[in-house]
Amino acid sequence: MIVCGEPSGDLNASELAKKLLQINPQLKITGVGGALLKDVASQIYCDIKELACFGVFDVLKKLPRFLALQKLLLQKIRQDKPDALILVDFSGFNLRLAKKVNKVLPVIYYTSPQVWASRSGRVETIKKYVDKMLVFFKFEEEFYRKHGFKAEFVGSPLLDIVHPSTEKEIFLKEHGLLSSRTTIALLPGSRKSEVNNILPVMLKASSLLNRKIKDIQFVIAKSTQVDLKFYEEKMRGNDLLIEIVEGKTYDCLNSCDFALVASGTATLETAILEKPFLIIYKMGLLNYLLYSPQVKVPFIGIVNIISGRKIIPELVQFQATAKNIAAEAGEIITDRQRSNAMKESLVKVKSLLGDKGASSRAAKIILDYLKIK
């Protein structure tokens, strides 16, 4: 049984499931996921679209749904007796599920919760209720070792996943954009709440950039989790040369010269494609006031955390204004030396992500651990 709750988790879970089935086609995989895991698994008990939320107030609204899902999964575990429970990120739900399972079957965590960033007390829950931890970043392996728990570094599966499907010139032409123009990609997040908070300020910043830089155009990488109408509402009254493209994030990034990216997995995807970018994040004020005191790392961008220094500018909450974003982005776009230095730093980040084949390594480790051939 594999349980994830975010679009990035769905991607990682589905790639892992494919590799597990390649090794042993007789496996039956069930769980919680999105469209990607649904394509691979025998049965999905809940689509992650039903679980999408951000912040304590969203969670409280959906608490009955989460409790019902937890009850259903525990019932399925008792009935079907799976060989293992594989948890993929989604720590608020998954760590509670691990507690309830209480080691009646092996619990494997794939894609570690960001306990190194906030609420490090969750490490004790992991040590007590998780049997095996597979991590994407070397520093995570070291973090767990310092806390007396063995985690195994497999590398980032994104190295195998992140690649465009269309050449830059073809993609631009297909979407009515010109290769002679400077292209800016906007990635405002995968959740509706993120798009709601981040896209408007990205669009305002884009309008300022449009006045400052000649021959500029924009492309929005649309999340499959959010309706097109929602984006169109946010863009109403906007006179920018801008296209919305769904389900082709890597093509959007490959086609761009610069990107504005919401903090999250997309920052690492942008880094792998070696595109200069800004990290932007805004959330509801009450959620920000609740969460910000818990954050114990100097950066929010995983690219900067991996590097151990700020190679990508971060504009968070009150600093994430249209004026600040446009000023920072404009400086990088027009300063070739700074832009090239950023690209060189991103090449180094890629070298720290391990070797390709992370999903295959993880699948082999899991089946060897479970003694399944």
Q: What percent of the chain has pLDDT over 70?
A: 95
171 Cβ partners below 8 Å, 6+ apart?
164, 248, 251, 252, 254, 255
50-54, 94-98, 112-116, 255-259: least confidently modelled range:
50-54
Q: What is the pTM of this model?
A: 0.89
**Token representation of residue 60:** 């409280």
pLDDT at 258: 97
Of the pLDDT bands very low, low, confident and very high (cuts 50, 70, 90), residue 56 is low
What is the widest separation between alpha-carbon atoms in the chain? 63
55-64, 196-205, 364-373: least confidently modelled range:
55-64
Q: Would you say 137 and 152 are in contact if contact means Cβ atoms under 8 Å apart?
A: no
Per-residue pLDDT for 116 more than 80?
no
Per-residue pLDDT for 241 more than 70?
yes
Nearest to 261 by CA among 333, 346, 330, 187: 187
Residue pLDDT, tens place only, 117-160: 767 788 999 999 999 999 999 999 999 999 999 999 999 999 99
pLDDT at 51: 82
Name all domains of the chain by residue range, CATH numbers in brackets: 2-157+357-369 (3.40.50.2000), 168-351 (3.40.50.2000)
pLDDT, average across residues 202-217: 95
Q: Would you say 83 and 370 are in contact if contact means Cβ atoms under 8 Å apart?
A: yes
pLDDT, average across residues 69-77: 97
Nearest to 194 by CA among 137, 234, 154, 158: 234
Q: What percent of the chain has pLDDT over 90?
A: 80
pLDDT, average across residues 343-353: 95
Of the pLDDT bands very low, low, confident and very high (cuts 50, 70, 90), residue 57 is low
Q: Whole-angstrom Cα distance, residue 50 to residue 31?
A: 14
**Token representation of residue 230:** 């929602």
Q: Which helix (H) or strand (E) holds 161?
A: helix 158-161
Residue pLDDT, tens place only, 281-336: 998 777 766 667 666 777 889 999 999 999 999 999 999 999 999 999 999 999 99
* Residue 293 one-letter amino acid: P
Nearest to 202 by CA among 219, 180, 214: 219
